[in-house]
């Protein structure tokens, strides 16, 4: 795990070591264990890395790394979990490897297989390879988007980095707000790839690589799609249970490879409890666990269940209690840590939990991200499937004037806590898909009130839905027989999972130099889970049915059968408490963002009032505005680079 950055002068020019170092050291938090640069012979390409040493701690395993004759160079962020098998294969083919780490397997894998090397990797990664002989720059992001990769082109210079702040640190890069993209953030609470809120900065989508050949433009291509699982046929329930258990056990074991101490996030739910138990079995002793809760609102805590797992395993446990004071102390750090803004309220919990983990001298931690998305663990998924199967799949084929009748008749009567129903009828009337994602902040109807008329006039009508529809169309094209839950899951794999959930773990963990691993997102498990039929994921209307069956006997039935609580913070209550709400809401009211004419602050006052009166729970939307304001003020109204 590291922070990578670099430059490519596309039409020639000399790169200075000092400018590389300036970009590199903006990522010091991602790599406190070392730093190095490489500049090509023609001085037009530079690669940098800040190192967090995890596997093979020797200096020889550091990046930038080269092959035997110095013609191919790599800078790499991440971990490759099948590198031992790849290493053996490369040795048999005559390659000489001088380290025992995973970076060198990518380097020599590129020599052997070219860009197809990415198809052989199983892990989390973002890397850049410079091929001196061919004058080709090759970059890639992992299959699921666990690791980030940002890039930009300005004035014939290609910039890249693990975080936008590395690009922004370059003295020649012109920082500008991509004002038109703010609307996407207000919908998704994150930026769908390849978009960011910085003009010219893009993020490489998951499962894509980027190629720059001499004299050519940046070429981005997809190299993997979980929809295309060749030779897949439907299995019995017992076969799925066996395969899930086998793959999950193997994934957790492989993701424990490390030359530094590791532990486990433990909430007390199915996913983290399974992680902790299988990790302990793999190493033959209890794994160290880390849990977080609230002091004044204990109904958000899951300590009752996490302690049961700790007791069962005999594990060394660390528990952290956070309060509104911790949230307020986090606000000044938010903009720097979340330079690609993230509207998930859990960011601050992950931030403080990562701080505790690092303080406990643990460097690597496994987390349960992805299980709910792959195995339909959210009640919202069950509701969406039931609504679709009960009527939407038939109503969508009615003539448009008939589809509009419920919207015309009922929408004027629906507001406040019935906003979902109102939006549902609008989507039906307009012929849109019913499910947009499990973390939609403001709907188009709400944004007609939130956004000023002047700003709305600059936007392309339906731009949010165009992003969503592109992924549904992709499912219909690649896997036309997909059921509704598979289509829904694919959308989550493309937007919410990589750019909201995984981004919060990466950014908040790396703020304290912690590497987080996600064994539920092994690419083999993703391929399998995506194609498990809806009838087995939600059998008997039980969320996560097939996974619950697979982990029976691994974790206690009490954990499996407990009502889903979710990893949460008492934001609803804090925004109602004047003592806490005042400094939180000041982030919106005092922000320089007001000067851009994007938001209607009278509407914002109304939703705050509705929330504080208890009429409607707007906590997610209000935090969406707080996080956007904090981000803008840090990067555009302060002395940030």
Catalytic residue ranges = 2
If you write DSSP's letter for every residue of 160-219 in order, what string do you get?
EESSHHHHHTSTT----B-GGGHHHHHHHSS--TT--SBTTEEEPPTTEEEEEETT---E
Nearest to 64 by CA among 82, 78, 50: 50
Q: CB under 8 Å to 578, separation ≥6 — which residues?
A: none
Nearest to 392 by CA among 431, 344, 337: 431
Structure tokens of 555?
């974790």
Q: Please give the Cα distance from 500 to 495 (Å, whole number).
A: 7
Plot region of 370 (φ>0 → left; ψ -120 to 50 → alpha; else → beta):
left
* Helix or strand (DSSP H, E) at 422: helix 419-429
Give φ, ψ of 380 to 5 degrees.
-60, -30
Q: Please give the Cα distance from 288 to 270 (Å, whole number).
A: 17
The pairing of beta strand 262-265 with beta strand 288-294: parallel
Q: In what order do the strands lie in the sheet with 364-366?
A: 317-322, 288-294, 262-265, 364-366, 515-517
Cβ-based neighbour number of residue 417 at 10 Å: 11
Plot region of 209 (φ>0 → left; ψ -120 to 50 → alpha; else → beta):
beta
Residue with the two structure tokens 């981004």: 503
Nearest to 219 by CA among 291, 158, 297, 154: 158
Q: Please give the Cα distance from 602 to 599 (Å, whole number).
A: 9
Radius of gyration of the chain (CA): 24
Residue with the two structure tokens 């890395």: 49
Q: CB under 8 Å to 261, separation ≥6 — which residues?
A: 288, 361, 362, 363, 364
Q: CB under 8 Å to 580, separation ≥6 — which residues?
A: 324, 327, 328, 574
Structure tokens of 511?
């703020």
> How far are the Cα atoms of 173, 318, 387 from residue 532, in angstroms, in the given order?
46, 36, 20
Q: Please give the Cα distance from 347 to 360 (Å, whole number).
A: 20
Q: CB under 8 Å to 601, separation ≥6 — which residues?
A: 588, 589, 594
Helix (H, G, I), strand (E, B) or coil at 262: strand
Neighbour-count burial of 360, counting CB atoms closer than 10 A to its CB (0-12 exposed, 13-18 middle, 19+ buried):
middle
Q: Please give the Cα distance from 387 to 409 (Å, whole number).
A: 20
Structure tokens of 321?
């209690």
CB 463 within 8 A of CB 183: yes
Length of the chain: 641
> How far are the Cα atoms of 331, 458, 609 from residue 576, in angstroms, in the given order?
18, 35, 9
């Amino acid at each position: 795990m590291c922070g990578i950055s670099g430059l490519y002068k596309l039409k020639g020019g000399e790169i200075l070591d000092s400018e590389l170092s300036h970009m590199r050291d903006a990522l010091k938090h991602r790599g406190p264990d070392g730093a190095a640069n490489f500049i090509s012979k023609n001085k037009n390409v530079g690669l940098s890395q800040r190192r967090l040493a995890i596997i093979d701690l020797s200096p020889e395993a550091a990046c930038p790394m080269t092959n035997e004759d110095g013609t191919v160079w790599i800078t790499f962020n991440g971990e490759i979990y099948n590198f031992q098998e790849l290493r053996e294969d490369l040795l048999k083919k005559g390659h000489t490897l001088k380290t025992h780490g995973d970076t060198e397997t990518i380097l020599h894998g590129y020599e052997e297989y070219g860009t197809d090397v990415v198809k052989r990797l199983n892990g989390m990664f973002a890397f850049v390879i410079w091929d001196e002989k061919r004058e080709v720059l090759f970059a890639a992001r992992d299959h699921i988007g666990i690791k980030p990769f940002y890039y930009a082109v300005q004035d014939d210079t290609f910039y890249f980095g693990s975080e936008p702040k590395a690009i922004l640190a370059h003295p020649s890069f012109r920082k500008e707000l991509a004002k038109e993209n703010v609307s996407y953030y207000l919908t998704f609470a994150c930026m769908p790839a390849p978009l960011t809120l910085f003009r010219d900065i893009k993020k490489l989508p998951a499962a894509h690589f980027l190629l720059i050949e001499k004299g050519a433009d940046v070429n981005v291509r997809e190299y993997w799609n979980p929809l295309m699982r060749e030779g897949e046929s439907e299995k019995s329930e017992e076969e799925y249970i066996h395969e899930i258990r086998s793959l999950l056990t193997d994934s957790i074991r492989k993701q424990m490879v490390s030359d530094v101490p590791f532990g486990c996030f433990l909430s007390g739910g199915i996913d983290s409890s399974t992680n902790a138990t299988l990790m302990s079995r793999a190493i033959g002793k209890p794994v160290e666990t880390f849990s977080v809760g609230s002091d004044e609102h204990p109904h958000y805590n899951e300590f009752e269940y996490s302690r049961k797992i700790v007791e069962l395993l005999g594990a060394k446990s660390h528990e952290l209690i956070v309060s509104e004071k911790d949230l307020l102390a986090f606000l000044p750090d938010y903009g720097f840590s979340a330079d690609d803004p993230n509207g998930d309220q859990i960011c601050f919990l992950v931030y403080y939990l990562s701080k505790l983990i690092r303080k406990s001298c643990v460097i690597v931690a496994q987390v349960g991200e992805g299980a709910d998305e792959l195995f339909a663990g959210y009640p919202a998924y069950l509701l969406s499937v039931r609504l679709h199967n009960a009527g939407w799949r038939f109503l969508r084929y009615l003539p448009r004037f008939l589809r509009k009748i419920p919207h015309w008749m009922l929408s004027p009567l629906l507001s406040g806590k019935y906003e979902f129903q109102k939006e549902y009828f609008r989507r039906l009337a307009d012929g849109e898909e019913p499910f947009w994602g499990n973390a939609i902040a403001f709907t188009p109807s709400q944004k007609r009130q939130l956004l000023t008329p002047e700003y709305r006039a600059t936007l392309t009508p339906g731009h949010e839905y165009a992003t969503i529809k592109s992924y549904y169309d992709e499912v219909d094209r690649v896997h036309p027989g997909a059921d509704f839950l598979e289509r829904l899951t694919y959308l989550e794999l493309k937007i919410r999972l990589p750019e909201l959930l995984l981004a919060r773990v990466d950014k908040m963990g790396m703020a304290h130099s912690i590497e987080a691993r996600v064994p539920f997102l092994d690419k083999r498990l993703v391929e399998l889970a995506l194609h498990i039929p809806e009838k087995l994921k939600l059998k008997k209307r039980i969320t996560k049915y097939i996974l619950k069956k697979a982990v029976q006997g691994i974790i206690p039935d009490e954990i499996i059968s407990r009502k889903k609580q979710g990893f949460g913070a008492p934001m609803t209550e804090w925004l109602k408490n004047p003592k806490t709400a005042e400094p939180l809401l000041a982030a919106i009211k005092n922000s320089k963002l007001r000067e851009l004419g994007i938001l209607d602050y009278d509407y914002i006052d109304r939703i705050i009032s509705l929330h504080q009166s208890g009429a409607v729970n707007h906590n997610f939307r209000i935090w969406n505005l707080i996080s956007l304001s904090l981000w803008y003020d840090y990067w555009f109204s302060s002395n940030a680079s």
